[in-house]
Structures are given as structure tokens and as C-alpha cells.
Structure 1
Amino acid sequence: MMTNSTGLAGRKATPRLWPAPAVIVSVVMAVLAALYLGGTVNPADHLSGFPVAIVDADTGVTTAHGQRVDIGEQIAGSLREGVDHDKFDLRSLSLAEAKHELGRAELYGAIVLPPDLSRKLTSLASGAVTGATVQRPQITVYTNPLANTSSASVVNTLATKALTRANAAVGKQLLAQVTSARAETAAAQARPGAAPAQARAVPGTARLVLSTPMDVRVTPFERVPDGTGNGLSAFYYALLLVLAGFTGSLIVSNLVDSRLGFTPQELGPVYRMERHSGRSRLATLVLKWGIMTGVAAVVSTIYLAIADGLGMPVDHPWQLWALGVLAITAVAVVVQAVLALLGSLGLVVNLFLFIVLSVPSAGGAAPLEATPSAVRFLGTFEPLHQIYVGVRSVLYFGAVWDAGLGRAVTAAAAALVLGLGAGALGTLAYDRKGLVRRHAAPSAEVPAAAGAA
């Protein structure tokens, strides 16, 4: 009877195992889908604070009649008025300031109005009357694909819409001036009683040029080098660093726990339980931290060697290696601390922290300024974004501290201190309370039931 009741209880208990795994997996996948798809399918709808500069370098011109003309100021004003300031952070900068910020990934683009803009536009209008050879002024739109590959399309769209309106407005103004000037010229040259209507008409070629008087040229501020995956190598390298710390910690944790007799070893059909080592929680955690620190140095070296072997340009290898060691170690310390404090639940917490929430908020595939507000908020502290901007600085922006390297180092150091402190204090408290990691002795009923069977 004891055997039957035990077996029946086991069969009745089996369905209780179904809800928890199903719910956990469903929740994780739902959050994953919402963040991954929600953060990428409609970037234009989520623009907020997207940084673009307007550089008005136009020096203006004084006409023959003594009139001061500054079309650059007019165009810059219309650009500022025509842009949604909730979506775009439009900064009025000098050319030197704009180049400085583009070179530190602080800007995704810049619209540059040249010094000779007013002079050339004025000459264009007078040339339509006199027939003199003139040149259209060129407005340069700089994109910054090294800051983010997707940002170039946003800058291009903004500049196309804004400058198309500005071109049409200036063209209409110039056509009116030319028409008036030609009318005055025709009136002065006409014989008494002659109709000047034909003379007032602007020739088709001149009208076509004057309707879009400015030539807009879109070009990257710095071209994406070969071997960088069109500017995505920094993102994938940062992802590799996070995966090394996250996945490596899980592997090391399982292997160490099984060798110390805390969990069983399973190799295929072989099931083996080592003799309990008697190590405390704190001592076990410190051992795992030490192993992962050594692993971080080895893996960072391997990553660097593979990158070099694949032809990826790395101008600052020592900085990249050191950042890799620091990033992997910081991730590993936090992952191990969470596992030590939360046990099996720590796996789910780490999965959310380092994968589910971290990848969409990295800012590598799409700029954070083009993602939902919740994703932008995650990017302020999620580890992958902090590591990504550091790797991007080393690979693309000369390892400049202000271009993201400082942020990455500071965030990694803070995570390291937080993980060490929380892990050490938490496991020490568990040890002092006698919450040791040891299997409970089997009850007497189990062998009795087995003997009855």
C-alpha cells in the first residue's frame, strides 16, 4: 500500500511541474518580442532628442544697391522652425564645434551652410538676368555612420525634407527677384509703345535652376572602414564581451558546484555526485570570481586574435584588450553574485539583465534616440550599451575618453564594486546564519517504500 500510495502521489504531483516552466518561458519570450520588435519596427515614431547640428557659416553679402543679404540666417531659421523639437535636438554650432562633436559620437549629423551661400545665390539671380556664368551653392549634410549605422537614414530623411522646403522657398524668392529685374531691364530698353511682356518671361533653363538653387550633398563625416561590418563590428564585439561574462559564468558555476559536491555531474548517462567539499558560500563565490577573472584575460586575448585574423581594423589593441578584460570580469562578478544570492532564480534574473533587456537597449542596431522611451531608459544602465559605447570609441573614434570609453570604464568599475560588495556581504550573511549548501539526509520512509516495492 505504501508503494502504491507513493507512486500515486508522484503521478498526481507531476502536473504541478507544468505551469511554472510554461509561465516563465512565455513571459520571457513575450518581453523579448515586445522589446526586440517594438524597438525596431517604427523608429521614426519614437524619435526623441536626436542630435543634429546646424552650421550657419554664411558670411552674407552686400548687393550693389547697398542691401545686406544673409540667406544662411534665413535658411537656418526656417530649419529650426520646421523641425519637431521633441524629436530632434537641433544644435546651432560652428563648423569646428560640429566636427568636434561628430568625432566623439555626440552628433548623428550636421547640416552645413557654406560661407559663400548668399554670394552665390545672389550671383545666380543676377546671372539669370545678365547671362553670366554662375555656380550653384552647395550645402553639405554630414552623416555619422560610425556613431550608428541606422542614424544616417534618419539624418538623410530630416535633411531632405527640411532642405527641400528651404530650396523651394529660396527659389521662389529668387524667381521673383529675377522676374522683377528682367521687367525693369525690358522696360528700360523697350521703345515707346512696345509691350514688354515677352521680355519679362524667365527662360526655361534659368527657371529650372532657380527653382532649386542650392545643391544638397549628403556625405559621411568619416567613411566606414572595410572590415567593420558596415559599422556593426563594435556592437557585435561588445555583445561577445557580455556573452563571455554571462555564459562563461554559468559554465564555471556549474562545473565548480559539481566538482565541490554541491550539484551532481551528468555526462550522458553517467550520473555522479562528488563528496561534499564543505566550502562556505563565500569561499565558493570567491573561487568562481577568481576563475572568471583569469578566463576574462584569456578570452579577451582570443577575441583580439580572432579580430586581427579576420582583418578587423584595431588601431588601439591594448585599450581594446584591457576594456575586454574589465567588461568580462564586471559582468561575471555580477552574474556570479546574483546566482550566489538567488540560486536558481538568479538564472532568470541574469537572463533578463544581460540578454532580454540588454540587447534591445544597446543602441548598436538603432540609435537609442529612435527607440521607445522604455528602451531609452534601459540604455542608461543596461550593461551592453555601456560596453558598446566604449568599444565603439576604441574601434572608431581613436579610443577617446569622452567618446564613450570613459563611460564604459566607469560603468564597469561601478558594476564590479557593486557585485563584489553585494555578493560578499550576502553570502557571508548566509554563512553566519548557517544556511549551508548541503543535501538534507533522506527520510526513513524512502528506503522503506523502496524495500516494500
Structure 2
Amino acid sequence: MSGIHPFRVLRAKPLWIANGVITGVLALLFTVFYVGANVDPVDHMKNLPVGLVNADKGAAVGGKQVNLGAQISESITKSTVSGDKIDWKVMDEKQLTEELGKGKLYGALVVPADFTFSTVALTGAATAGTPARPTLTVLTNQSAGSVGSGLARTATTQAAESASLQVGRELTAQGGSGQAKLPAAARLLLADPAAVTVKDGHPLDSHSGLGLTAFYYALVLVVCGMLSANVISGQVDHALGYTHNDMGPLRLHRPLIRATRVQTLAISGTLMAGLSLLMGTLVMAGAVGLMGMDASHLPLLWLYSVCAIAVTGIGALTLLAVFGTPGMLVVTLVFIGMAVPTANATTPLQALPGFYRFLAEFEPLRQITGGIRAILYYDAQADAGLTRGWVMMAAGLVAAALFGFGVLGWYDRKGLHRIPAETKLETTAAPA
């Protein structure tokens, strides 16, 4: 024994400096990723996709065919009020239903078939009573993300109200002295003729978390893969005799079985793949069976869940094997720190700064969330995010294998073994 009291290590400056740098950088990075991505989504918003449907059939006015819906649509698409924040997608009602049902749109504005007829009727409402107002319908889409749907609703409502005032100014200018004969209520309506109503464009079941169950379910899959990788890495090292295993007051140790770094990663990856079957099953059973989450396509959901956990876990195991002890910090940043703000679940990608949109192209949580959302909300349609999810998971698995086995193979060839060969440690076969 050295005779030095253990608490003397607190006097060592390198201990404070090393841990201070690591924890400080971690705190700063998490702040930048989380707060920076969400501090001002309205200012960062660019090209948020919103549908615009003109179903107006027009009406004959003074022997001339008029279509106020077409005028409104043209005015909105050419308006510079919203700058490049909204990307108006002009389409018909069938296309709108399809796009909302795939999560391609965050909302929509619909001009009804009788808009011109109802609006023009206000100018001839000389009889008593209050004329009926034409209606512009704003559709939301919570399944595409609550924040994005809210941003689209605000922008679309403002566009609808502005269009109504513009139509009112035109009708007032055209009406001339004839408007004096209209009832007071009709004149007020004529100045702002359209009522704006808000409806849900793609309703979800009440057990869908207002469109967030897909994100939280995907987050559970990623966390399961990430944390189980840490557990499996430690347990494999213990089984091979490279590390001790503390169980409460007991310290367990097994005889050393020499294994190359490549062999160790292969063992860990195999264990992860096998246990992913168990974890994926329990995650789905807990979410759907115990908690009552609304879900369909259960066999597909189970398969996707298992694969997501396996790919995440193998990716995390690779980082742990390549970087060693700092690997857990790298894993945390890749799978949680940079992933959650760029998952396209709470804040849409179109409302993130450019750097975060770049991260979202390859961050695993975004890809997994897109696939889960397609399964849960969009009838497992391939182009609603499911195909991208499968492709990106496959690409991630290949990248992890090439990176992990490539780097670890280089370590082995350079003789950078975890325990140098000249170290005299007892080597025995594993007990049966």
C-alpha cells in the first residue's frame, strides 16, 4: 500500500482539467444542438411545403365568367409577404388527400367549389337578413409534426385572411354606388367576405400522441440500441476476461481468453443482433399492448423495430470499439445529442438552420422516425418515409461494418492489442 489517502487525488490538477474539458464540451454541445435548433424556427423556416387547392367552379357575373378562387390562388403564390418561408404546392383535391396522407405537406388552404357564387351573392343581397359568407378552409396535418403543422396553420390562415381582404377591396371598387342599397351587414361582409375555418386534414387516432408517438417510439428504439451496446460491450469484455464485473459488493473475474479486436466486435455484434429480437418484441408489446398506442401493420412494425435496434446497437458497438472509453461520449452525441433536434419530429427540417438540415440527412433517428411514422400514420406507404428508412438503415449497417472492421483490423495488424502479448496473464479456455 502507498499510504496515500484516496482523497488526495482531488488535489491533482490533471484530474480536474481532463474531466472539466470533457464535461464542459459535452454541456456546450448539447446546448448548441438542442437550443440552437429550436430557438427561432419561424426565422429559420424556408420552403415549408403547404398545399393550395382551388376547387372553385366560378360564376357568371354580368355575362362574364369570373373565378375568384383562381385570383386568390394566383395572388397567394405570387405574394412576397412570406418570402421563401412557404412553398405553396398548387394541386387538386385528390392530390391533396394523397400528399397529406403521406406526410408530404404540413397543411393546406382549400378554396371551395361555390366560393365565387357565394361571394358574388353578397353584392346583390338587397333583401333583409344576413347574407351567408363564403368559406376558405385551412387544413392542418399533425401527423407531419405538431410544430410544423402549427407554423403552416399560422401562415395559411394569414394568407386566407389577406386574400379575403383583397377580394373585398375588389368587390367594393366594382360595386360603386350600388353598395349603398345593400344592408349594413352585407356591406361589412363585402369588405371581408370570406370566413376562415380550420380542420384536421389527416385525422389521427386519439392514442397517437397528437402525432408524436412515432417520434417517441423511434427514440425508444435508438436508446435501446445505444444503451444495450454499452451493456453488451462490457459483458463481452468480462466474458473474455479483459475486465472485472462489479455486482454490488462483489467483483467477478473470468480467466482471459485472448481475442483480436475484430473478433471481439464480431462477438458483440452477433449478441446485439440476437438480443434485438427480444428488445424489439418487448418495445412493441409495451407500447401497443400495455400502453394502448394506436398501431397497425404489426408484423412490419415488429420487424422494423428489431432492425432499428440492431443497426443502432451495432453502430454504437463500432464506435465503442474504435474509440474505446471516449466512445460512449461519441455514441451519446451521434445518437442523442445531434439526433433529437434533427429528427424532423418536433421541429420540421424546413424550420432548422442549414447546419442541422445537413445533419438530418444521415442522422439515424431521423431515418428511423420517418419509417415508424409511415407505418403508424400513413398505412405503411413506401414513399411516405418507409423506403428511405430501410435504405438508410442498410447503408448505416454497411458503413458501421466497413468502418469498424476496417479500423479494428488495422489495429490488429499493427499489434495494437488490448493486452500486449508479452504481458504475463493466465490464459485458459472459457468454462463450459
When the two structures are superposed, what TM-score results if normalisation uses the length of structure 1?
0.87
> 2:130·2:185 contact (CA, 8 Å) conserved in 1?
no
Deviations 1:159-193, CA, capped at 9 Å, x for gaps: 222122211121222234444335xxxxxxxxxxx
Q: Which moved more, 1:416-425 or 1:328-337?
A: 416-425
Residue of 414, 420, 429 corresponding to 1:433: 414
Equivalent positions of 1:151-162 (< 5 A) are: 151-162=148-159
Change (3 A) 1:3 1:240: closer
Residue of 54, 57, 73 corresponding to 2:55: 57
> 2:108·2:156 contact (CA, 8 Å) conserved in 1?
no
RMSD after superposition = 2.4
Structure 2 spans left out of the alignment, 5+ residues:
425-432
Partner amino acid, structure 2, of 1:70 = N
Question: Partners of 1:421 and 1:23 in 2: how far apart?
Answer: 31
Three-state SS of the structure 1 residue aligned to 2:146 is coil
Question: Partners of 2:389 and 2:212 in 1: how far apart?
Answer: 18
For 1:150, the equivalent position in structure 2 comes to: 147
TM-superposed deviation, 1:149: 1.4
Question: Partners of 1:31 and 1:430 in 2: how far apart?
Answer: 30
User: Which one has a bigger Cα radius of gyration?
Assistant: 1
> 1:179·1:202 contact (CA, 8 Å) conserved in 2?
no
TM-superposed deviation, 1:135: 3.1
Question: Partners of 1:230 and 1:66 in 2: how far apart?
Answer: 49
TM-superposed deviation, 1:303: 1.0
Residue of 231, 256, 267 corresponding to 1:287: 267
1:420 matches 2:401: yes
Three-state SS of the structure 1 residue aligned to 2:49 is strand
Question: Partners of 1:181 and 1:347 in 2: how far apart?
Answer: 77
Deviations 1:323-364, CA, capped at 9 Å, x for gaps: 111111111111111211221122222111111111111121
When the two structures are superposed, what TM-score results if normalisation uses the length of structure 2?
0.91
1:171 matches 2:168: yes
For 1:24, the equivalent position in structure 2 comes to: 22
Three-state SS of the structure 2 residue aligned to 1:230 is helix
Q: Percent identity?
A: 35
Equivalent positions of 1:4-403 (< 5 A) are: 14-63=12-61, 65-80=62-77, 81-127=79-125, 129=126, 134-182=131-179, 200=180, 202-307=182-287, 308-403=289-384
> 1:55·1:92 contact (CA, 8 Å) conserved in 2?
yes
Three-state SS of the structure 2 residue aligned to 1:141 is strand
TM-superposed deviation, 1:236: 0.4
Three-state SS of the structure 1 residue aligned to 2:46 is coil
Change (3 A) 1:226 1:18: same
Partner amino acid, structure 2, of 1:147 = A
> 1:265·1:271 contact (CA, 8 Å) conserved in 2?
yes
Question: Partners of 2:122 and 2:96 in 1: how far apart?
Answer: 29
TM-superposed deviation, 1:294: 1.1
> 1:179·1:201 contact (CA, 8 Å) conserved in 2?
no
Question: Partners of 1:133 and 1:12 in 2: how far apart?
Answer: 82
For 1:408, the equivalent position in structure 2 comes to: 389
Partner amino acid, structure 2, of 1:35 = F
> 1:178·1:202 contact (CA, 8 Å) conserved in 2?
no
Three-state SS of the structure 2 residue aligned to 1:228 is helix
Partner amino acid, structure 1, of 2:396 = A
For 1:192, the equivalent position in structure 2 comes to: none
> 2:136·2:160 contact (CA, 8 Å) conserved in 1?
no
Structure 1 spans left out of the alignment, 5+ residues:
183-199, 444-453
